[in-house]
Each structure stands twice: as structure tokens, then as C-alpha cells.
């Protein structure tokens, strides 16, 4: 059968959905017996009744992880032995590409064209990269001199808690799980309640690849129950979080209330895209549109503020308007769809509220509608505002939707001032053919990643994370191993 909408609809109906927690190497219901619904935002249909884990389930997962860590069944393996298991796991992710892609498409409305070509292949590649890196990290010998030998060793922490959001359910889980497991930790993963399905299947594939029981546990449930319990648990050594700044602050508080566990937050963003008059405007428009409308704008590093030199503002507005109007929200199981629904109806309503506020504070260039398809009203038109003051809500707050705000600047100093006038500092983009300007502006921008003549540049070889209230956690690259390990000095006199 041709892989069209009909094919993926039929394939989706045939999926076996895992709906229990994964603890100690097997699926188990929540101790309370309670469940919650996970809903397809494209249709409003209930996909599954998922185990509603709470503090008791988190505790048994942590106990399982601690026992596995203490036994050395994983932590005691050589890096090469752990690498072999993780590489098998990466291949199983590739072997189950279609299933994993459909799970995230169904759970949060991501277009199947994206999950098949970007999300799942990217997750497998990042798992493979961390696996291949782990037996190439060397310990150190300190230059103490004399009859002393001081070894500086990298050792695992123990039990790592991982809390991930719903916008990239599979990818962001692997961003954190891969380095944490590679260095020898056990992991307790709490996926977002809106998107639990791919995490459960991922854990099952990990077991098939050879992960020992207890090394990876997945507890599904709500943030205020299971997530809070993970943050407060006294036997969790480290917690890695991606999500909102508000929740990131809560996890830091949980650490202070409990055992001072390390907390590594990667949080919100309001990233600027600066376009100077000498830029390639066609390329800038293409990438600026992708940078805000990809994944329905549900990207923490989305370039949601377009800062354009006043001499080219009308030109760029026209180019962006044409690109926005060419994107029509549609069925995410249709391979031709490039813009699906928001992850939930509730989130669509939230984004629509920001758009209404924008109508009061700027000029609506295009879009602005909340659309219904069948029983679901989770669809938002690509939306652009111009002539917006810097103190407007849509300029200051993270919308997390397909809403672009365009502002103008007169010179480089004003561009940098506008770009940095935000509590966030996750990403930024600079468009210019002048290499001196590109580098000098990048030096002045408060952002964890500055992309020049592109947007949202990303690779497992470079760290991803932010500054200010975008958090200080770093995913990807060799630096990702730092937050999941400790340095231990072993000093020998001879």
C-alpha cells in the first residue's frame, strides 16, 4: 500500500499501546490503580488509559534504580560493554521507526513527515553518538610531582531523575537518558502526561537491547504528583529537566527541601532573529519561517522575535506573510501536512489568548485564527504581528506556538539591545554577509547558541542550553557527560 494518509491511519489503528509504568524491567500498573487519559489532539479521541503514577510509584522506581546501581549490573560494566548495549538500542529505535513516529504523532499531533524524518532518526543518532563517545573519555593524572600519583576519575552519580516535556517526547528523553546511562547511572524517567506513549515503548526496546532490570524506569503521571515526588525524593542524586521556567524553579526548590540533589534545568526561551540589510533575504525568510512555525512553534528555542533593520522591514514582512499563508494546518497523519494541531486543546486555547492580547498591542499581519478540524479545536493558524512595543505581552512572554512578532531597529546597537531585552537567553540568530558584524554581534548577545546565517543550529557535537532564565543545563556534546558524573580524586603515595 502507498504510504499515504490512509496507510498511516490504518497503521495507527493497529498499534499496541503500552499504558503501564515500566519498573524493574516490566510493565506494572500504578500502585493506586488509578489511570488518566492520553488524547489525540488532532481528533479529540482518547488513545489510552495510562497508569497514573504518584509518590509511591516514584519510590519503587528509585528503589529499583538504586538496587541496580548498587549491584554493579550496569555501573560495573566497562564503558565498551555499556556502549554495545546502547548501540543495539539505537538500532532498535531505527528498526521501529514507523511505530515510534506514529506514537508521537498520535500523542501530540506532530506531522508524521516530521516524526519519520526528523524526530525518530535524530533520537537514534543521538543515542548512538553518546554510546560511541563513552569509551573515548579519559580520566586524568594530576601533575603532582614527587612520589605521588593523583588520579582524577569520572564516576557515575547513582540514580538520575529525568523529567521531559511534550513537544519532543522521544528526542528529549534520549538527550538526557543517553549520557546518564552511558556513564553508568540508573535513570527514572517521568514523561509529560500529555505524551507518555513513546517513552514506554522506548523502555521496552531498551530491555530488548540488553539494559538490565532497574537501570531504566519510566513512571507515567502528572507533574504535581509524580514529577514533584521525583524532585523531592531523597535518594535521587541528580535531576535533569526540560520545560517551562516556572517548573524549573520548582525543581530547584524541591532539591533545597530534600537532599540538595543537582538540578539541571533547560527552560524557556524568547529567541531573537536579527536580520541586517546586507543579508540574503530569501534565505533569511525561509529560515525565519521554519524557526517559528516548525513543530507548530512548540520549540523552546523557536525564533519567536524577528528583529529587522527598518530599511528592509516591509520586504521581510511580505516574505514572511507569504510563507505563513502557505502553511495550512492539517491532519498530522497526512504526509503532505507541514503544520499539525497544538499538543492539546488547552494549549491551543492558551496560544489563542496570547493572539487576542496581540491584537490589542500590535498590527496583525496574517493568521490569528483558532481552527477546528472535526471534534478538535487544537489548530492555530501561523500568525504574524508587527508594530509591537517592547513591553507588550507577546514580546515579553513565551507563547510556545506559531506566533511571530516583528520589530524594527535602526542600527547594530539598537538591534543588540532589543535582542537582549528579555529574561531568557536560550538561542539567537544573526543574518548578515559581514563576518565582522556577525562575530561582534554574536559576542554581545546573551544566548547559549548564536546561529549565523541559519537558525537553531544543532548537533550532538555541540552543547545545547541557555543563559539567564533559560536555565543552565546543557544537553548534547561531550559536556553532557559532566552533569551525570562526579570527579573523584584518588591519591597514592609511593
Q: How many Å from the N-terminal Cα to the C-terminal Cα in the chain?
A: 72
Separation between Cα atoms, residue 58 and residue 234, nearest integer Å: 11
Q: Which of 98, 204, 266, 398 is catalytic?
A: 266
Residue 391: exposure state from Cβ atoms within 10 A (0-12, 13-18, ≥19): exposed
Tell me which residue of 374, 331, 294 sits closest to 7, measured CA to CA.
Answer: 331
**454, three cell numbers:** 541559519
Cα–chain-centroid distance for residue 333? 22
CA atoms within 13 A on the CB side of 224: 0
CA-to-CA dists, residue 214 to 64, 73, 140, 344, 410, angstroms: 5, 10, 31, 32, 58
All 3 cell numbers of residue 105? 504523532
Report the alpha-carbon distance of residue 476 to residue 458 in Å, rounded.
Answer: 9
User: Rounded to the nearest 5°, which phi and psi values hold at 229?
Assistant: -60, -35
Asked if 325 is an active-site residue, the reply is no
Number of neighbouring beta carbons within 10 Å of residue 252: 16
Q: Which three cell numbers stand for residue 358?
A: 496581540
Q: CB–CB of 262/391 below 8 Å?
A: no
The H or E element that residue 479 is part of is none
Dihedral sign of CA atoms 20, 23, 25, 29 in order:
negative
Length of the chain: 494
Q: How far is CA 396 from CA 305, 306, 399, 416, 420, in A?
A: 10, 13, 9, 16, 11
Strand partners, 408: 308
Judge whether 300 counts as a catalytic residue.
Answer: yes
φ, ψ dihedrals at 213, nearest 5° = -55, 135
Q: How far is residue 484 CA from its own chain's centroid?
A: 18
User: Which residues are paired to 28 by β-bridges?
Assistant: 21
> Which member of 21, 238, 273, 300 is catalytic?
300
DSSP state of 314: H
- Strand spans (E) along 123-228: 140-142, 148-156, 159-163, 186-190, 216-218
Q: What's the CA gap between 320 and 90, in Å, rounded?
A: 38
Q: In angstroms, rounded to a whole number, what is the distance separating the alpha carbons of residues 340 and 337?
A: 7
Residues forming the active site: 266, 300
Amino acid at each position: 500500500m502507498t504510504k499515504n494518509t490512509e496507510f498511516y491511519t490504518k497503521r495507527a489503528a493497529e498499534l499496541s499501546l503500552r499504558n503501564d509504568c515500566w519498573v524493574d524491567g516490566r510493565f506494572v500498573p500504578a500502585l493506586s490503580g488509578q489511570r488518566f487519559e492520553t488524547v489525540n489532539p488532532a481528533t479529540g479521541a482518547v488513545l489510552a488509559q495510562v497508569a497514573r503514577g504518584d509518590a509511591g510509584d516514584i519510590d519503587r522506581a528509585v528503589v529499583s534504580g538504586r538496587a541496580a546501581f548498587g549491584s554493579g549490573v550496569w555501573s560495573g560494566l566497562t564503558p565498551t560493554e555499556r556502549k554495545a548495549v546502547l548501540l543495539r538500542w539505537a538500532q532498535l529505535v531505527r528498526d521501529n521507526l514507523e511505530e515510534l513516529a506514529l506514537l508521537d504523532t498520535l500523542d501530540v499531533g506532530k506531522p508524521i513527515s516530521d516524526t519519520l524524518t526528523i524526530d525518530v532518526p535524530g533520537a537514534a543518532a543521538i543515542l548512538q553518538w553518546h554510546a560511541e563517545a563513552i569509551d573515548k573519555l579519559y580520566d586524568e593524572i594530576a601533575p603532582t610531582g614527587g612520589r605521588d600519583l593523583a588520579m582524577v576519575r569520572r564516576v557515575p552519580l547513582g540514580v538520575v531523575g529525568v523529567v521531559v516535556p511534550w513537544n519532543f517526547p522521544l528526542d528529549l528523553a534520549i538527550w538526557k537518558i543517553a549520557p546518564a546511562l552511558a556513564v553508568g547511572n540508573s535513570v527514572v524517567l517521568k514523561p509529560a502526561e500529555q505524551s507518555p506513549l513513546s517513552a514506554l515503548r522506548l523502555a521496552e526496546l531498551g530491555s530488548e537491547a540488553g539494559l538490565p532490570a532497574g537501570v531504566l524506569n519510566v513512571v507515567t503521571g502528572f507533574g504535581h504528583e509524580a514529577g514533584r515526588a521525583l524532585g523531592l525524593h531523597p535518594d535521587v542524586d541528580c535531576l535533569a529537566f526540560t520545560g517551562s521556567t516556572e517548573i524549573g524553579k520548582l525543581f530547584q526548590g524541591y532539591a533545597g527541601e530534600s537532599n540538595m540533589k543537582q538540578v539541571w534545568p533547560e527552560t524557556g526561551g524568547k529567541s531573537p532573529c536579527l536580520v541586517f540589510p546586507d543579508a540574503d533575504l530569501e534565505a533569511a525568510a525561509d529560515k525565519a519561517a521554519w524557526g517559528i512555525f516548525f513543530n507548530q512553534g512548540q520549540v523552546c528555542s523557536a525564533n519567536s522575535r524577528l528583529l529587522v533593520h527598518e530599511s528592509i522591514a516591509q520586504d521581510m514582512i511580505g516574505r514572511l506573510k507569504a510563507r505563513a499563508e502557505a502553511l495550512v494546518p492539517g491532519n498530522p497523519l497526512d504526509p503532505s501536512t507541514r503544520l499539525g494541531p497544538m499538543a492539546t486543546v488547552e494549549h491551543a486555547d492558551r496560544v489563542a489568548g496570547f493572539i487576542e492580547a496581540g491584537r490589542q498591542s500590535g498590527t496583525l499581519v496574517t493568521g490569528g485564527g483558532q481552527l477546528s478540524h472535526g471534534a478538535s479545536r487544537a489548530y492555530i493558524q501561523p500568525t504574524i504581528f508587527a508594530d509591537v512595543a517592547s513591553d507588550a505581552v507577546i514580546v515579553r512572554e513565551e507563547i510556545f506556538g506559531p506566533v511571530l512578532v516583528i520589530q524594527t531597529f535602526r542600527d547594530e546597537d539598537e538591534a543588540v539591545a532589543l535582542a537582549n531585552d528579555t529574561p531568557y537567553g536560550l538561542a539567537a540568530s544573526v543574518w548578515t554577509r559581514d563576518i565582522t558584524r556577525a562575530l561582534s554581534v554574536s559576542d554581545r548577545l546573551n544566548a547559549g547558541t548564536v546561529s549565523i546565517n541559519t537558525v537553531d543550529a544543532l548537533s550532538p557535537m555541540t552543547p545545547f542550553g541557555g543563559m539567564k532564565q533559560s536555565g543552565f543545563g546543557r544537553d548534547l556534546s561531550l559536556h553532557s557527560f559532566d552533569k551525570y558524573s562526579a570527579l573523584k580524586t584518588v591519591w597514592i603515595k609511593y
